[in-house]
């Protein structure tokens, strides 16, 4: 049997955001929760093998205890493993949510928060997933820096990063740059990126990567997530899906 892996990828949910630049209706507190719950239900319909959440689940480390506990509960209810990293809005600096709440206590969740990066294995899928915990959103932070070569003991090697896309030939003084050259140098089968709220596919002959866009922000092609199909014997397929209103 040909080995395949189906991945659901999302990022930038911004729970407890103030809704300032968003199109969500109702009070922002419940609107973000409702939109994320709807996005999760929609992603479930694809029956993914696992989910990658590439940062900014929360809008700020000051998110309410009620919202943090709600998020832990809904992640636990998903019928697949979830691998996640902090973003700049929920980074590991200061009074980080992820220092106060242990998301790794959730049976189906691996939160990759090590500053130097770490790999989690989803053994039954043969998947190794790398990510790191951003402490400071600064020009010096290198979201993909230190990502190792593909381990020998996996069928699939996946990576996550949270930061700004820097195309070939471009320069930026902005924080957390993710250079296209680093994406193309990666040995990952797929790189799940977060930070841009508009989805962006980055598929070349050297790279399979995407920004999923935000499932709670309608900028760009709408509220989005990405489904990735990897197969041993064919090219990866990266599909951006727009979701309807949570209502």
Chain residues that interact with Mn ion, rule: CB under 5 A: 56, 87-88, 195
* Pair of tokens at residue 218: 């309608």
* Pick 128 or 193: Cβ nearer Mn ion: 193
The minimum distance between CB 94 and Mn ion, in angstroms, equals 16
**Residue 13 CB, nearest distance to Mn ion (Å)?**
11
Q: How far is the CB of 231 from Mn ion (least distance, A)?
A: 31
- Minimum separation from the CB atom of position 57 to Mn ion (A): 10
Minimal distance, residue 153 CB to Mn ion, in Å: 32
- 7 vs 91 by CB, closer to Mn ion: 91
Measured from the CB atom, is 107 or 173 closer to Mn ion? 173
């Amino acid at each position: 049997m040909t080995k395949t892996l189906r991945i659901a990828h999302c990022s930038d949910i911004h729970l407890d955001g103030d809704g300032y630049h968003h199109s969500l209706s109702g009070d922002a507190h419940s609107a973000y929760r409702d939109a994320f719950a709807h996005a999760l239900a929609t992603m479930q319909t694809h029956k993914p093998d696992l989910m990658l959440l590439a940062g900014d689940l929360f809008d700020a480390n000051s998110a309410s205890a009620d919202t943090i506990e709600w998020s832990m509960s809904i992640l636990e209810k998903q019928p697949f493993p979830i691998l996640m990293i902090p973003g700049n809005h929920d980074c590991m600096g200061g009074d980080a949510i992820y220092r106060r709440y242990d998301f790794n206590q959730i049976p189906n969740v691996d939160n990759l928060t090590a500053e130097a990066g770490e790999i989690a294995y989803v053994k039954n899928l043969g998947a190794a997933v790398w990510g790191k915990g951003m402490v400071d959103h600064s020009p010096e932070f290198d979201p993909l820096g230190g990502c190792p070569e593909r381990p020998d003991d996996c069928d699939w090697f996946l990576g996550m990063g949270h930061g700004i896309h820097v195309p070939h030939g471009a320069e930026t003084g902005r924080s957390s740059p993710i250079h296209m050259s680093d994406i193309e140098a990666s040995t990952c089968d797929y790189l799940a990126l977060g930070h841009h709220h508009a989805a962006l596919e980055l598929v070349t002959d050297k790279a399979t990567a995407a920004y999923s866009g935000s499932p709670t922000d309608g900028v760009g092609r709408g509220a989005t997530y990405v489904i990735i199909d990897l197969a041993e014997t064919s090219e990866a397929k990266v599909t951006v899906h727009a979701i309807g209103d949570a209502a």
